Amino acid sequence: MSATTVVAGAILSDDGRILLAQRAYPPELAGLWELPGGKVEPGETLADALVRELCEELNVRVEVGDRLAVAVTLESGLELIALRATIVDGTPTAAEHRMIEWVDAERLRALDQAGAVVPNDREWLPEILADLLERG
């Protein structure tokens, strides 16, 4: 996996919510909501990287599921991949983000309409909303 891959976690609950995290930096992204995650390090699989990042960022242990179908490639070359995940141990806390929130489909749509979602992540929203409505 290249050093320019970011893996993000679509952490879904059984009752139709997803865990969003509000960025604290950089200034142009601060205050916007994203899927928690981070850069894949050399030698790591996507799943390894996601488990590590979610432990560092949220203090939880997750079981990694399948990929969202859409991968986002930025002009900078950075590739964003999202994997579904379920918390198997711990209660999430915002170790690196400004705050975290479990949001349902209605709240996710409202955040999107308010321009409060990290722009690159908007491509994942149709798939995430479908997942939430199926579970909720």
Ligand X SMILES: Nc1nc2c([nH]c(=O)n2[C@H]2C[C@H](O)[C@@H](COP(=O)(O)OP(=O)(O)OP(=O)(O)O)O2)c(=O)[nH]1
Question: Applying CB under 6 A, which residues contact ligand X?
Answer: 6, 8, 34-35, 37-39, 80, 118, 120-121
Q: Which is nearer to ligand X, 104 or 121 (CB)?
A: 121
Smallest separation (angstroms) from ligand X to the CB of 19: 12
Q: Which is nearer to ligand X, 73 or 110 (CB)?
A: 73
CA dist 86 → 37, 54, 75, 116 (Å): 14, 11, 31, 24
What are the structure tokens assigned to 38, written together?
A: 């981070």
Q: Nearest residue to ligand X, using CB?
A: 38
R_g of the chain, CA atoms, integer Å: 14
Smallest separation (angstroms) from ligand X to the CB of 47: 15
Smallest separation (angstroms) from ligand X to the CB of 113: 18
What are the structure tokens assigned to 44, written together?
A: 């790591």
CA dist 106 → 9, 21, 103, 113 (Å): 20, 17, 8, 11
User: What is the CB neighbour count within 10 angstroms for residue 59?
Assistant: 14
Q: Which is nearer to ligand X, 39 or 107 (CB)?
A: 39
Smallest separation (angstroms) from ligand X to the CB of 110: 18
